[in-house]
Amino acid sequence: MSSDQIGHPLIEPVCYLSMLTLTVANIFTDKIPIHLSICVYSLAIIIIGSYRSLREMIGQMKKVHINGQKSEGIETLSNKDALQFPLFAGATLLFLYLLIKFFGKESVNYFVLAYIALGSTTGIKALIQSFTGTMFDKIDEGKIINIKNSYIELEVSLLDLICFALSIVSVIIYSVSKSWVYNNAIAILFCIHALQLIFLGNFKTGGLLLVLLFFYDIFFVFGTDVMLTVAKNIDAPIKLQFPKDMSVTPPQYSILGLGDIVIPGIFMSMCLRFDFLKTLDKHRLSELIESERKGTTENNKFVGYLIAKANAAPKSYFIAVIIGYLVAILTTVVIMIIFDHGQPALLYLVPGCLISVAALAIYNDDKNIVWNHSEEPYLSNEKKDN
């Protein structure tokens, strides 16, 4: 393992290889068990995204505590955001449903694809930077468009424009090919990017968001036909597709909404970061920050300490929540097959995630630590009592 490697070097390659293997198998046969595909894809995406979120946190900690800059790039949700999220999600869902009913699915698909072309720009940029490091930093620093006033703040670099062009090309390819393989590739990119950059900040916000979306999912699946109508009629990479019957026209697919990966996934990625933060010696951390700022210690010793702790930390809460998610997603698929009806996956995933973390916290006598945990002190250079 290299000195700057976080996690085992084979974690991400194995996750990508497992999804690629199943994709190739599904190309040649539609007999692959749906529960196998759903479990492998969802867990692989969550594991990759969680470890990337951990790397992102360490990068942000260096930026804040050593470079004296503000934390940028990540989106930390507040309790207010958690309360508003189901309302905005429900409004968007109803809006798409009404568009489908009154204007047909084709017009809605064009609207969604245009939105994805714009929104995928940041995902493509993050993907490029994850493979190239600082290679394109110079063309990203110079801003071609720089508008800042009380109404709008817009900064666009040459790299942003290149990524936007690549995003448009990718959407055009998708529209022409209608390939489920390409659909899944774009969806996977979106999920990993979201898991890397969306932080819940603490377990209170995470629990609130999951509980609210638990009821949201039940209402829109069992209470109305809104969610299933939107999911089945929108032809865009907002879901993972798995071949169900390729002998008919059009081919039939089983689907998994991206929300069933991203929503539990951002909670699960927080569990991995919690495992890491629990191991940090705050006194040692303060010493390294002071000495590196003053130049009295070896450069990057602060980051080296964080990486060593991230690799040595027991991943107990992350493993526990993975087990909870796995049991829940298998339960979802089994019930879906038995009743031959789409299921609100969060009905099972939310209890699976919350109960697994709560049970381990009680077993480890970590109840107060988990309840009072906050990532904010690590992502802010403001002096606060911890």
- Alpha-carbon span 124 to 127, nearest angstrom: 5
pLDDT computed for residue 51 by the predictor: 95
Please give the positions annotated as active site. Answer: 217, 260
pLDDT computed for residue 4 by the predictor: 66
pLDDT computed for residue 384 by the predictor: 44
pLDDT computed for residue 386 by the predictor: 37
CB-neighbour burial class of residue 245 (10 A; exposed 0-12, middle 13-18, buried 19+): exposed
Domain assignments of the chain as residue spans, ordered by start: 11-83+180-278+313-378
Query: Alpha carbon 130 to chain centroid distance?
Result: 15
Mean per-residue pLDDT pooled into runs of 10, the chain (386 residues) = 70 94 91 90 96 92 85 86 91 88 81 80 76 74 73 78 88 86 89 91 95 91 83 83 84 87 96 95 85 72 89 94 96 85 86 96 94 90 51
Partners of 235 in the β-ladder: none
Cis before 251 (ω within 30): no
